[in-house]
Amino acid sequence: MQIDVSQFVQAFLEESFEGLDLMERELLSEDLLGSADHERINAIFRAAHSIKGSAGTFGFAAVGEFTHGVETLLDQIRAGSRPLNEEVRALLLEAVDRIREMLVAARDGSEHDANAAAQTQAAIAELLAAAPADEAAAAEPAPSAASAPAPAAPAGESRWRIDFRPHAELVTTGNDPLRIFQYLGDLGALEVQCDTVALPPLAELNPEHCYLRWTLELRGAGLAEARVREAFEWVADTCDLEITCLDAPPADAAAPASAGEQRAADAAPAEAHGERRRRGLADRRADASSIRVAVDKVDNLVNLVGELVISQAMLSTIAQAEPDEFDAVRVERLRQGLAQLERNTRELQEAVLSVRMMPISFVFSRFPRLVRDLAATLGKKVELVVEGEDTELDRGVIEKLVDPLTHIVRNAVDHGIEPPELRAGKGKREAGTLRLKAAHQGGNIVIEVSDDGAGLDRERILRKAAERGMSVPENASDRDVWQLICTPGFSTAERITDISGRGVGMDVVKRNIESINGRLDIDSTPGAGTRMTIRLPLTLAILDGMSVRVGDEIFILPLTAILESLQPTRDQLHTISGRGRVLRLRGEYLPLVRLSDVFNLPARHERPEDGIIVVVESAQDRAALAVDELIAQHQVVIKSLERNYRRVPGISGATIMGDGRVALILDVDMLTRIH
């Protein structure tokens, strides 16, 4: 039968990547070294074992070969014959990287760095060859007969006599002599003779024992002894077996050929000259086109749809009444039905959104490794504390969070936490603490990255800002000063290190976060540390918005962009040459943007002071938007304008209001740049 195993490759890769993540996570756990935590080592071993066992089956022989050494090493650690020290841990982590590279290359059809893989494999082999030598030798398997190609068959017919005397308990292992004979019968012509001499009288007979013996004669073309013996492979230790050749052709001796050679060929690195490529943590990003959803989430959806159908049926029944039958009772039932429908809809909405949700551990899980490697490179000591890694958020948000969060974490280790001697001098613990925390707060997700390092240096930031020619208000608040580091082109690092300061600065981080409707807040205390707080909406599909009226049109402003709204007095409004109309607010001049002008609509109020001003803030700037009226605050479902119509400057999307009208969602970023 033809079975195509390639259909299972996707599942194999997914579970292997998960296994590698688990290995890495467990290997990095602080208390692993020296501990006798058997379950942990077992879990690591099982992950390696699974990858090795499946790799060959799904056509990744090189991966299986490579993982074999890793498995042997882990098996020794598991058995207690090899201590797990820092050196072994580092090697195992390296091996995890290599396996991941091989699998990524297999997935993407690219080439992995075969040299690096060969080096790591050699290092593992070297370690295994060293003490404890006897263990290593024992664990290294002899080429197995089962996986070797069948020996070349000798020509001519051979005849074998088989004396088969099962022990009484042979059948208790589920083996059955009759099935063995059937198997032999497939190999050639079989004659069977049963010997009942050992059969006891019925009264003494144990029905679970085997008392019979057999003498068999098997004749087949080119039948080698190994083939015959194979039939008894599983019962070898529960029977006495004698196999004699009755008239074998002489050429049998050369039969067990080439098993060793075959193995050597498999072991050769598949691609000796892979282009050296830097592959980072990004490799771990799962394929975005498919998602794995817990079964209970799907069950819940099915349930809710069931409820929805019931509500709909109930409403239909009510609606079948004649118009004159709509009395108070019926109307009340209609109301109840609608209330139920509303609840169903809301629950269904939440459930559907939860399908796209995944735990933030997806991002957090990469940091233990990152922080460890980074700290080692920089000669720093860092303890990573992770909280709330089960917090769920939208898949799309998570994917866009990876880069900014990585950057912030790198920054914290590179610039935040001081070298151990410096910390000791300040009376701090030598090891700095880096805390990653995620939590729900209202309809938002709040992610905090905090360190107990040096904190931001206000004077240096101000000096740098002055050098860059940035305008900073007198007596600017700390908060405003910290935000300066998110300005394009700003970098306070005194030297360009390998880790940060490669041109991608905090401005990009901030922009990335804002692109997913998030906000970045910075808190810092000199000498005590820095805390970066990212606030994000739960999902990208729904937005908390404020609806505003301009003429007859309704627009939606994202709530996260709104700082305040006010009714301006005439003396707050000025015209400044070169900057146009501005609003003066607590000593600051904000450009006045009249939405009626931007979208060419007739405003209800000719003068801005008759309407309302909404002060908004984008990544770059603030602006005062003049509108006619604030209407209400609601959650709106974002519809793409580009997909349904085309891109319109100043508009980021559209939504459908309760009355069926379309309202456009304003692009605050664009509006603040318009002046």
Partner 1 sequence: MARILAVDDSASLRQMVCFTLKQAGHEVFEAADGVEALDFARTSATDLVISDVNMPKMDGITLVRELRGLPEYKFTPILLLTTESGEDKKQAGKAAGATGWLVKPFDPDTLLATIKRVLG
Backbone angles phi, psi at 166, to 5 degrees: -65, 145
Look at strands 588-594 and 612-617 and give their pairing: unpaired
Distance CA 97, CA 135 (A): 26
Q: Is 144 in the site for partner 1 (CB under 8 A)?
A: yes
- Residues 20, 49, 368, 432: which binds partner 1 (CB under 8 A)? 49
The single-letter code of the amino acid at 166 is: P
Q: Report if residue 234 touches partner 1, rule: CB under 8 A.
A: yes
Is residue 516 within 8 A of residue 396, CB to CB? The reply is yes
In angstroms, what is the minimal distance from the CB of 206 to partner 1?
13
Which member of 23, 44, 55, 625 binds partner 1 (CB under 8 A)? 55
Report residue 410 as tokens: 């790198």
Task: Pick the closer one to partner 1 by CB: 139 or 241.
Answer: 139
406: left (phi over 0), alpha (psi -120 to 50) or beta: alpha
User: For residue 443, how many C-alpha atoms fall within 13 Å in the half-sphere facing its CB?
Assistant: 14
Q: Which of 7, 193, 471, 477 binds partner 1 (CB under 8 A)?
A: 7
| 63-102 residues near partner 1, rule: CB under 8 A | 64, 68, 71-72
Q: Total residues at the site for partner 1 (CB under 8 A)?
A: 48
312 binds partner 1 (CB under 8 A): no
Q: Which one of the spans 9-17, 119-127, 319-327, 338-346 is the region binding partner 1 (CB under 8 A)? A: 9-17
Span near partner 1 by CB under 8 A; candidates 140-148, 245-253, 393-401, 418-426? 140-148
Dihedral angle computed from the Cα positions of residues 206, 208, 212 and 215, in that order, rounded to the nearest 10 degrees = -170
Tell me the window of 166-174, 430-438, 523-531, 662-670 that interacts with partner 1 (CB under 8 A): 166-174
Q: Report in angstroms how near the CB of residue 8 gets to partner 1 at its nearest.
A: 5
Of 40, 46, 107, 458, the one binding partner 1 by CB under 8 A = 46
- Segment interacting with partner 1 (CB under 8 A) among 30-38, 98-106, 170-178, 429-437: 170-178
Contact 627, 636 (CB under 8 A): no
Q: Tell whether the torsion through CA atoms of 104, 110, 116 and 122 is positive or negative.
A: positive
CA distance 408 to 393: 19
* Residue 415 φ then ψ, to 5°: -100, -30
Please give the single-letter amino acid code of residue 476.
Answer: A
- The amino acid present at 325, given as its one-letter code, is E
Q: Which is nearer to partner 1, 45 or 364 (CB)?
A: 45
Closest-CA residue to 54 (of 1, 101, 17): 17
Query: Applying CB under 8 A, does 362 fall inside the site for partner 1?
Result: no
Rule CB under 8 A: say whether 54 interacts with partner 1: yes
Cβ-based neighbour number of residue 134 at 10 Å: 9
Tracing tokens 């002060």 back to the chain, one arrives at 615
Contact with partner 1 (CB under 8 A): which of 25, 26, 37, 50? 50
Supply the Cα-derived Rg of the chain in whole angstroms. Answer: 36
Selected from 31, 86, 237, 659, the binder of partner 1 by CB under 8 A is 237
Q: Does 461 bind partner 1 (CB under 8 A)?
A: no
**Min CB(225)–partner 1 separation in Å:** 18
Binding of residue 326 to partner 1 (CB under 8 A)? no
> Is the peptide bond preceding residue 608 cis, with omega within 30 degrees of 0?
no
DSSP readout, 123-171?
HHHHHHHSSSHHHHHHHSPPPPTTTSPPPPPPSSEEEEEEEEEE-GGGG
> From the CB of 130, what's the least distance to partner 1, in Å?
19
200 lies in the binding site for partner 1 (CB under 8 A): no
Residue ranges in contact with partner 1 by CB under 8 A: 1, 3, 5, 7-9, 11-12, 14-15, 43, 45-46, 49-50, 52-58, 61, 64, 68, 71-72, 139-141, 144, 146-147, 171-176, 178-180, 182-183, 208, 233-234, 237
